[in-house]
Amino acid sequence: MIKELMAELRGAPVFFAGMDDVKPFSGADERVVVDLDRDLMEPPAEPEQVREVLVLARTPADLRRIATLHKLLPQAERVVVAVLDTPAAHPAPVPTPTPAHRWRSLTDLRVYQPKNRVWVVDARFSAATPAGRTVTATARAFAGHRLDVIAAPAAAIAGVGAAAWRPGDPNATPAEVTGPVPERVGAPGSDVVLRTTPMSVTEDGAPAWAGDQTPIERPAPQAATWERLGRPGMAGSPLADPDVLAEPSMIPPVDERLVNPQGFVTTPSRGMASLAERDGRWSVVLDGKVVTSFAESGGVTDADVARLRQIRGVEVDWRHAHSGPLAAVRVLAGLAAAGVPLVAETVPRWAGALGDDLIELVQKYPDLSDELRREEHSIRLRRAALRTHGVAARWEQLGAPAPAPPLTSVLLATRRADMVAFALDQVARQRDTRLEVILALHGVSKDDPDVAVAIKAFERPLTVFEADPKAIFGEVLNAAATRASGSFLLKMDDDDWYGPDFLSDLLLAHSYSGAQVIGTVPEFVYLASIDVTVHRRQITEQITSFVAGGTILVERSAFQAVGGFRPLRRSVDTQFQEALQAAGGQIYRTHGLGYILRRGPAANHTWQEPIGTFLQRNRHQWRGFRPNALMAMDGGPRP
């Protein structure tokens, strides 16, 4: 495919990333060829004279690094972007042109798949246009068309591999390794500078910096190989100190927009694999065959993760050599963020940059042959990795101010005074979140003794109102929403169980999925009338068309855009989700281990499905109330 594109765009400059084991150019024609993972250079001397540009990326994750460096690309009348290894779960990367940024000169846009897993975007313009804008629009398409922003100060990046620190950030400013940062119109070029250097005092030390800002210095990908660390004179390098390597902030973050739990398989078809060295790289090996090999830098891509989804787990083999300690930690952080089940007997001191939580989890060695224990382990790993090694977390570790956590307004409507205390207890269990509760008493008085005691005992922000007993359910929920202050709205039911990380997991899924609505499905159901708990077969961690009504977390702006809930007695949740999708919104279904649906007689529920439905196609079935470990319960309490 590369040869065909090179031949078609003969003489066009080529910019590429993620292909450190491939030479994506051949032939006698002379052209500019830039490896954006290794070279940060100025655009061609006369960019307005370039007619065509070819951009090559191994995977969508690699394309996002190119998008960070989009200002280095020249202007052209034709821009061809090719991604050579795209996971099957990705939709077609159709860019969304806007009147701004000179898209008005677009005359032709073709998106096609010349062969399996390869996507090509071919954009033609009537006038020379910044090629980087086509790249950023394509990268944004792969990431769900969300705004490409990072919650940190405007950053300048300099040095080899620096784009990995700001993946998919088109607002980053590339700079020469010696500085200064190019200025923007009417403002400094950046608020903070990150520079990658050899990190050695005695050997090819860091060059002087010409700018006013003191850069944050971090090791370039080739700076911390075992070969270099063993050289004479490296004792003067900060990297010779294991305590320096023990800081998570020493490695680039995980690009959670693409390397995340999406696509997790609960019932894998393949066995245990090992993470070991093959030809100087970390590789996942199963039955003696390499499933995937990671980049020398240790960066994990979405294509790598897709190849591992059917594997039950990965055991880390520390005994063999590999590219270096920072690359090793980076591989493990990426795999953990994607929810790949990892185990290891011990973690060496030089891998301390994983962070204490991840190290403890990797060494737990749960029974991965049990599918439920395997998924519990995966969820714990992804939580720890995304919160330690995600982009926003990494820049907070580097000194960026932490944004205020969002406020979530819990909409809780009930007709049952005796369930108010139980429902508020489920909200009170939520940890690591900011929330308020809007309690809508539907035909119930707040002076009822059960209600009054429950309200008095609740210690979080609480707004209580008595809805008209004759009001329709959808109207009651909308009335609750008008009293809410949060940027997110969460609909909870009064009789279901919620784990202590239920809301924080929904917010985490929102951060990596790009969907406007996050929820789960009733994977665990307690059938109260027969005292049985069932674990149903469900597919989770995917864009979907439906989530359970008692788990709907929605962006407030999206809720308002579709007009809230319809004034219906039943099917309120289904109709809301249909309206959101009709308006172009997306729904994401995360894991179901933080929620248990209580099912009594069908007449007591707005979703009147017969009990027999919940006894079919189950993975497990237990007598009594059996919460999974992530619910953090001792078998109760239940009324």
Q: Where are the domains of the chain?
A: 2-142, 155-240, 270-397, 407-631
Please tell me the predicted confidence (pLDDT) of residue 603: 47
What pLDDT digit, counting tens, does each position of 42-59 carry? 444 444 568 999 999 999
More confident of the two residues 239 and 487 = 487
Q: Give me the count of residues in the chain.
A: 639
- d(CA 195, CA 191) in angstroms, rounded, equals 13
pLDDT at 43: 45
Residues forming beta bridges with residue 15, ordered by sequence position: 34, 55
- What pLDDT sits at residue 618? 85
CB crowding 320-335: b at 16 or more within 10 Å, else e: eebbbbbbbbbbbbbb
Cα–Cα distance, 221 to 268 (Å, whole number): 33
214 has pLDDT over 60: yes
Which pLDDT value is given to residue 322? 61
- Give the model's pLDDT for residue 45: 45
- Smallest Cα–Cα separation from 398: which of 224, 150, 204? 150
613-631: pLDDT as tens digits:
777 778 899 999 999 999 9
- The per-residue pLDDT for 605 is 46
pLDDT, average across residues 208-215: 87
Fold of 2-142: Rossmann fold (3.40.50)
Over residues 592-612, mean pLDDT? 72
Phi (first) and psi of residue 413, to 5 degrees: -110, 135
In this predicted structure, the answer to whether residue 236 has a pLDDT above a threshold of 80 is: no
**CB-based burial of residue 571 (10 Å sphere; 0-12 exposed, 13-18 middle, 19+ buried)?**
middle
637 upstream amide cis, omega within 30 of 0: yes
pLDDT, average across residues 319-324:
66
CA atoms lying within 13 Å on the CB side of residue 28: 0
Q: What is the mean pLDDT of the chain?
A: 88
Residue 233 has pLDDT above 60, yes or no: no
Q: Give the percent of the chain with pLDDT over 90.
A: 67
**Rounded-to-integer distance, Cα 488 and Cα 407, Å:** 7
Number of other residues whose CB lies within 10 A of the CB of residue 382: 26
The whole-angstrom distance between residue 304's C-alpha and the CA centroid of its chain comes to 15
pLDDT for 370-418, tens place per residue? 999 999 999 999 999 999 999 999 999 999 988 889 999 999 999 999 9
Q: What is the DSSP letter of 254?
A: B
What amino acid is encoded at 571 in this protein?
S
Average pLDDT over residues 502-523: 96
Q: Which CATH architecture has domain 407-631?
A: Alpha-Beta Complex (3.90)
pLDDT-derived band at 226 (thresholds 50, 70, 90) equals: low
Whether the predicted pLDDT of 21 surpasses 80: no
Pick from 70, 10, 66: nearest CA to 43: 70
CA atoms within 13 A on the CB side of 39: 14
pLDDT for res 145: 76
The pLDDT assigned to 239 comes to: 59
Q: 440 is written with which tokens?
A: 């809508």
Burial degree of 565 (CB within 10 A; 0-12, 13-18, 19+): buried
Burial 238-275 (b: 16+ CB within 10 A, else e): ebbeeebbbebbbbbbbbbbbbbbbbbbbebeeebbeb
Q: Supply the pLDDT for residue 609.
A: 63
Q: What are phi and psi of 210, to 5 degrees?
A: -90, -10
Amino acid in position 302: D
- CA-based nearest residue to 627, from 619, 637, 617, 618: 637
Select from 203, 255, 210, 238 the least CA-distant residue to 59: 255
Let me know if the fold of 2-142 is the same as that of 407-631.
no
Among 326, 639, 307, 286, CA closest to 454:
639
pLDDT of the residue at 408: 98
CA distance 397 to 192: 13
- Range name among 113-122, 182-191, 269-278, 455-464 with the lowest pLDDT average: 182-191
User: Quick check: 469 pLDDT over 80?
Assistant: yes
What distance in Å separates the CA atoms of residue 591 and residue 547, rounded to the nearest whole number?
11
Q: Check whether 165 has a pLDDT greater than 80.
A: yes
